[in-house]
Amino acid sequence: MRIVLKVPATTANLGSGFDTLGMALSLYNIFTLKEIFDEARFSCEVIGEGMDELRDSDSNMIVKSYKRACEEWRVNNPKGFALESCNAVPLNRGLGSSSTAVVAGVVLANLICDLNKPEAELLRVMTLIEGHPDNVVPCFIGGMTVSCWDGESLRYVRLPALPEDLNVIAAVPDFQVHTEDARKILPESVPFRDAVFNVSHASILCAAWAMGRWDLLRVGMEDRLHQPHRAKLFPGETGEKFLREIANHPDCVATAISGSGPTMIAIVHGKSGKLASAMCKIFTEGNAASHFFVLNCAPSGTVIER
């Protein structure tokens, strides 16, 4: 059985939609199942991003997710496999690299064990493994998604994809912000007025996205829950500068920290070379090298070729 999975990067939160909103992006990891073993042994060859970090198949997130899904579905004596990962999604940069692995592991468990689980069940197990739904849901079903997870049940809605004339610039620096640090820096409680601010802005964002009111994205993506805190994890004043200066750039429709960072995204309309250069210039001022991607909202999610 030869299976190829083309799994997209994702950007989560989109400012106000902390742990809730996410969008699939046209940058892909490609996982190729080369061989299935009767016994539970695994080998993973990693090419591209994470070649050095992801060599050990015992700690490989695809293998872990496959095993966890098999446990969840009570599969006796799950088979093993040999996999080739051709990775283009930057590792630990806030573009959902680990979610591509979780999605791949769960999809492989469903296919190799011939379980034929429905989409909602696959997503439930993916969310259970990841701990939050905002990356895995758009990663699997594509487009822009709104998700709600209470630790057991998952509910999600897929919104229309961004129109073709709106693109996403993702500026990726060469430093990492560890997810643990990004979670630790968040306060345990927030002022009531900030909670109200985010409820209203996230609601406007979803309504504007659903109705094609792209002029409201800038306001809708404003956030007071996590970005002001996480911006402090960037070197110098890079994070604050991004949120202040890029948001007000004439070519920028809206901007946010992607996931827990350090990648910054800007939704742009039309020619955006100056804006992309300005984003990378800010990283250079913080003494960090960087590069950027120009991406579409990927409408297809994970594509399975057999």
- Chain positions contacting other proteins, by CB under 8 A: 9, 26-30, 32, 45, 47-48, 84, 86, 88, 167, 172, 271-273, 276-277, 280-281, 283-284, 287-296
Cα dihedral sign for 231, 222, 129, 151?
positive
Closest to other proteins by CB, 167 vs 258, is: 167
Q: How far apart are CA 228 and CA 215, in angstroms?
A: 23
Closest to other proteins by CB, 62 vs 129, is: 62
* Greatest extent of the chain over all pairs of C-alpha atoms, in Å: 58
Minimum Å gap between C-beta 6 and other proteins is: 8
What one-character DSSP code corresponds to residue 259? T
Closest to other proteins by CB, 178 vs 281, is: 281
Q: How far apart are CA 297 and CA 66, in angstroms?
A: 27
Closest to other proteins by CB, 15 vs 90, is: 90
Secondary structure (DSSP) of 108-144 = HHHHHTT----HHHHHHHHHHHHSSSTTHHHHHH-SE
Minimum Å gap between C-beta 277 and other proteins is: 5
Closest to other proteins by CB, 32 vs 200, is: 32
Closest to other proteins by CB, 49 vs 130, is: 49
Minimum Å gap between C-beta 288 and other proteins is: 7
- Angle 282-253-49 from CA coordinates, rounded to 5°: 55
What one-character DSSP code corresponds to residue 297? B
Closest to other proteins by CB, 147 vs 167, is: 167
Closest to other proteins by CB, 27 vs 204, is: 27
Minimum Å gap between C-beta 293 and other proteins is: 6
Minimum Å gap between C-beta 273 and other proteins is: 3
Element (H, E) at 10: strand 3-12
Minimum Å gap between C-beta 26 and other proteins is: 7
38 within 8 A of 90, measured Cβ to Cβ: no
Closest to other proteins by CB, 219 vs 294, is: 294
Minimum Å gap between C-beta 272 and other proteins is: 7
Minimum Å gap between C-beta 65 and other proteins is: 21
- Angle 149-150-155 from CA coordinates, rounded to 5°: 40
Provide the H-helix boundaries in the chain: 61-72, 97-112, 119-130, 136-141, 179-184, 192-211, 217-220, 227-230, 238-241, 273-285
Minimum Å gap between C-beta 199 and other proteins is: 35
Tell me the helix, strand and coil percentages in the chain, rounded to 5: 35, 25, 35
Element (H, E) at 147: strand 144-149
Q: How far apart are CA 181 and CA 198, in angstroms?
A: 22
